[in-house]
Amino acid sequence: MIAPLPELADVEAAALRLDGVVRQTPLLESDALNELVGGRLLCKAECLQRTGSFKLRGAYNAISQLDGQPVVAFSSGNHAQGVAAAAKLLGVPATIVMPADAPAIKIANTRALGAEIRLYDREREVREDIGAEIAGRTGAALVKPYDDARIIAGQGTVGLEAAAQLRTVGTTVDAALLPCGGGGLIAGCGIALAAAFPEAAIVAVEPQGFDDTARSLAAGERLANATGAGSFCDALLAPMPGELTFALNRRRLAGGLAVSDAEVARAMALAFSHLKVVVEPGGAVALAAVLSGRFAAHGRTVLVVLSGGNVDPALFARVLQA
Amino acid sequence: MIAPLPELADVEAAALRLDGVVRQTPLLESDALNELVGGRLLCKAECLQRTGSFKLRGAYNAISQLDGQPVVAFSSGNHAQGVAAAAKLLGVPATIVMPADAPAIKIANTRALGAEIRLYDREREVREDIGAEIAGRTGAALVKPYDDARIIAGQGTVGLEAAAQLRTVGTTVDAALLPCGGGGLIAGCGIALAAAFPEAAIVAVEPQGFDDTARSLAAGERLANATGAGSFCDALLAPMPGELTFALNRRRLAGGLAVSDAEVARAMALAFSHLKVVVEPGGAVALAAVLSGRFAAHGRTVLVVLSGGNVDPALFARVLQA
């Protein structure tokens, strides 16, 4: 028995809570990229969101319903910044449990937002345990990264906003590709996008070695990733689909695709050259799926979500010089 | 005796011609940058414009009034791409005269837009002469980079659009800082911004060694740059203010500031980290003026135009690693 699943009304209610807090991020388009794939790509640039990713949406939607309770969260970086920023905006203390090997920019930005940071060793400690221990000791509410109806509804506002922008320009889409880690972003957006574009294929894109959602969708049950795989998509390394996110995603998703680090790096470089935005590895997987041809965009109009832009300058420089 | 100066009605007419052709670029804001300067920065991201800079606006406004005549233009890169893209959209042939040492990305992108390219040697040839020769021989109309009322009116739509966006969010500005080469962007935007925000100080920002507009404004007459200076702001190396642009700018501008290449590089890196956009050197000078403290933004709301994002990956990588 799992908690009630969020519905369209929950995403719409989240959008009202987020009004004036998050930015309406643009739908970017490049004539050169369109020519490259022979179709039309509309890129929802959540890398331009406050905190540099979509994560503020879910965090604020959840924390604003807690009546001032302190919060604790575990995250490799983007959820950390989202929770820290939301807590700061709402005036509540936040403790963030982060892996010591998270990108320096994400740790620094989270600290700059006023959160207390607890670093842990990814090999020897379990972040869920640390988060639960802090919650038990301090009375803080645990703000989960994805498997929570309020988080999912908040992330879904990306899809609600994109659908409204597409309606404004009179465009429908044949498909929507979204990055997928634990599945919160695509689960929430799936609610909004399926309502707006019932015919569109909604596709999860994951890093190779972390394609738990793709395999789980194919198998009809939640499967974990094998341990030991590596990817530079640090934002998308969740071990397996969430209960709530998988229950939503198995209902609405057309399937999942996996992309290589090299394909992701090329997508980041093409986003630099043609879209002029900074996209982090995990934020670029959906674009990589289209630009690599793993998803055939020829003759189609495709919504692509660029979910974040928090990448260390040194890594970005290496990607540009490859 | 110079040609009639463009007025607000000309900028508004340009906006109608550009409707559906150019994108409405977002006003970006970063909590971190606001804290850094102790004020509020609203950054008009024309680097996200089609062709990667604002130049499409003026070019399309001018060429769409030529009734199908072929065009020729000289440009180090952004005007080249703007003219090439506008000519392609309007179905007219374009020849672009470019310095052989222009950034490779700008030459490649201009060629990809279908224009014929004539490269020249910056030391031994005069681009104006080459452009005039081609115009005389082929009957093509010369599309000047800045000293033309239609070009100025088109570039002014950046300011018109920003003013409308600021009104939508209920914000006024104390100052507006814009990059300045020949002065077309700030001359056009000055028309729109002075009408919308009569109290705002409109300030031209130039690279050190190319502060002809700042010195001309102070002197009350057009002064040229000394030869021999260098700057990596390739988009802003015009030799002296235009006749029309200076006539407009001396009427409305509060003055001019110059920034160093190091200050520009830091602004590009901070735009990468906090705004998640790619800004080229010439596009980042206004942001550099604020972030360096040369313009005091403390306690003020400042509109900053990021005018372009066409920068070679290798240069951008060096800026990130500095």
Q: Which residues of A touch B47 (CB under 8 A)?
A: 276
Interface test with A, best of B168, B273, B275, B319 (most A CBs within 10 A): B273
| Mean pLDDT along residues A181-186 | 97
**Closest by CA position to B235, among listed B108, B63, B83, B53:** B53
CB B131 within 8 A of CB B74: yes
Q: Summarize pLDDT for A101-124 with one digit per residue, the tens.
A: 888 888 888 999 999 999 999 889
pLDDT confidence of B2, banded at 50, 70, 90?
A: low
Element holding A177 (H helix, E strand): strand A175-179
Residue B272 has pLDDT above 80, yes or no: yes
Confidence of residue B41 (pLDDT cuts 50, 70, 90): very high
Task: Reply yes or no on whether the pLDDT at B1 is more than 70.
Answer: no
**Angle, CA B271 vertex, CA A261 and CA B29 arms, to 5°:** 115
pLDDT of the residue at B322 = 83
- Does position A286 have pLDDT exceeding 70, yes or no? yes
**Tokens 């189609």 sit on residue:** A300
pLDDT of residue B305: 98
At the topology level of CATH, where does A8-54+149-321 sit? Rossmann fold (3.40.50)
Give the model's pLDDT for residue A209: 96
Range scoring the smallest mean pLDDT among B131-135, B159-163, B197-201: B131-135
**Residues of chain B positioned with their CB less than 8 A from the CB of A109:** 32
Query: What CATH number is given for B55-148 in this structure?
Result: 3.40.50.1100
State yes or no: pLDDT of A231 exceeds 60.
Answer: yes
CATH of A55-142, one of 3.90.950.10, 3.40.50.1100, 3.20.20.70, 3.60.90.10: 3.40.50.1100
Q: Please report, for chain B, the start and end positions of each structural domain, with discontinuous segments joined by +.
A: 8-53+150-321, 55-148
- Residue A2: the pLDDT is 64
If we measure between CA atoms, which residue out of A195, A243, A244 comes closest to residue A8? A195
pLDDT of residue A1: 54
CATH topology of domain B8-53+150-321: Rossmann fold (3.40.50)
CA distance B282 to B207: 8
CATH fold match for the domains A8-54+149-321 and A55-142: yes
pLDDT of residue B95: 95
C-beta atoms of B277 and A276 within 8 A: yes
Choosing among A276, A307, A321, which should be mutated to test the B contact, i.e. which has the most B CBs within 10 A?
Answer: A276
Q: Over 80: is that where the pLDDT of A3 sits?
A: no
Percentage of chain A beyond pLDDT 90 is: 86
Distance from CA of B265 to the nearest CA of A (A): 13
Query: Which chain A residue's Cα is nearest to B317?
Result: A317
Question: Does residue B115 carry a pLDDT above 90?
Answer: yes
Model-level pTM? 0.96
Whether the pLDDT of residue B51 is over 80: the answer is: yes
| Predicted pLDDT at A227 | 85
Average pLDDT estimate for B26-53: 97
Radius of gyration, alpha carbons of chain B: 18
Closest CA of chain A from B220, distance in Å: 38
